[in-house]
């Protein structure tokens, strides 16, 4: 047993390293392309390491296409949709998990049915609804669409996490004299922190990377999201601006990485913190 443990651990580290290389290699190529000039990009035998660093692609991405304004629009819609999804789905998941009745079955069917229909079938009804409410071609309207589209799966995720929280903990707090709201806020929510963080990551990334709804519902240049602006690097005649596109894509990954780094510590720390508070 003592001899096989180092071999097993070495195999685990090798598998983890291979997985990291598999995930990181496309990102390395993206950064490499963003630092190459047009002549080097047209080379028949491209190399991973640029021959000379060309920062002009980042200047073009930041100035010529309005990338910063589009990034701000994406931040507003993504963060807004994430906050609304969490605020709605947390109490809904608690009610559907703890109080078993007909509403749980109806909610489960709603979640499953909402994931069956393709996006193209619901975009026309959404277009007409937003137009009737005066929310067409607006960031609040796009945020509402992201909430509606993300909420079913987010609720499904939180119901799974909520079911893993033992009811005995709530019963013990109730025996000590805590009311329902005190039990939820002081016991359940700290224990549910990893699930809330994971659901928030899912909601944010889904809204941040979404393209189709924004393409149909947004027509004003100043209200474009980041995905729409990056698509503009493909010219009307199919001419691809590869360098600025890569530079813009690199910049577009920064908010997602910051959001993930800010929340990932709570994935592992939330459960322990909740256990201590409970």
Assess whether pLDDT exceeds 90 at residue 139: yes
Band (pLDDT 50/70/90 cuts) for residue 239 is: low
Residue 271's SS3 state is: helix
Task: Provide the pLDDT for residue 132.
Answer: 92
Instruction: Kindly report, residue by residue over 63-79, the tens digit of the pLDDT.
Output: 876 788 898 999 999 99
Please tell me the distance from the alpha carbon of residue 222 to that of residue 211, in angstroms, as a whole number. 16
Res 198 pLDDT > 80: yes
- For 124-152, what is the mean pLDDT? 91
Q: What's the whole-number mean pLDDT along residues 21-50? A: 82
pLDDT score, position 266: 63
Q: If phi over 0 gives left and psi between -120 and 50 gives alpha, with beta otherwise, what is residue 257?
A: alpha
Model pLDDT, residue 273: 41
Domain 64-277 - what CATH class?
mainly alpha
Quote the pLDDT of residue 235: 60
pLDDT per position as a tens digit, 141-190: 999 999 988 988 888 888 888 888 787 777 777 776 777 777 777 778 88
DSSP state of 138: S
Alpha helices in 35-166 (DSSP H): 38-41, 56-63, 67-98, 102-114, 119-132, 139-164
Cβ–Cβ contacts within 10 Å for residue 20, how many?
Answer: 10
pLDDT at 267: 61
SS3 38: helix
| 73: Cβ contacts below 8 Å, ≥ 6 apart | 139, 223, 224, 225, 226
CB 171 within 8 A of CB 188: no
């Amino acid at each position: 047993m003592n001899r096989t443990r180092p071999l097993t651990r070495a195999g685990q580290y090798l598998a983890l390293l291979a997985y990291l290389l598999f995930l990181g290699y496309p990102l390395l190529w993206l950064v490499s392309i963003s630092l190459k000039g047009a002549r080097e990009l047209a080379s028949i035998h491209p190399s991973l390491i640029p021959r000379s660093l060309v920062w002009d692609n980042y200047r073009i991405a930041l100035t010529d296409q309005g990338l910063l304004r589009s990034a701000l629009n994406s931040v507003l819609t993504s963060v807004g949709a994430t906050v609304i999804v969490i605020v709605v789905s947390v109490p809904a998941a608690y009610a559907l998990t703890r109080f078993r009745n007909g509403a749980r079955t109806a909610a489960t069917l709603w979640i499953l049915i909402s994931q069956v229909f393709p996006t193209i079938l619901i975009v026309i009804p959404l277009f007409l609804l937003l137009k009737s409410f005066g929310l067409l071609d607006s960031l609040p309207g796009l945020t509402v669409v992201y909430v509606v589209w993300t909420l079913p799966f987010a609720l499904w995720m939180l119901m799974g996490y909520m079911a893993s929280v033992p009811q005995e903990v709530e019963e013990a707090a109730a025996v000590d004299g805590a009311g329902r709201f005190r039990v939820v806020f002081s016991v359940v929510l700290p224990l549910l922190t990893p699930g809330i963080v994971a659901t928030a990551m899912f909601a944010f990334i889904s809204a941040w990377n979404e393209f189709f709804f924004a393409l149909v519902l947004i027509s004003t240049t100043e209200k474009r999201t980041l995905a729409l602006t990056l698509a503009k690097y493909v010219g009307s005649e199919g001419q691809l601006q590869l360098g600025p596109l890569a530079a813009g894509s690199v910049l577009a990954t920064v908010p997602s990485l910051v959001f993930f780094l800010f929340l990932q510590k709570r994935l592992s720390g939330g459960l322990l913190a909740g256990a201590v508070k409970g």
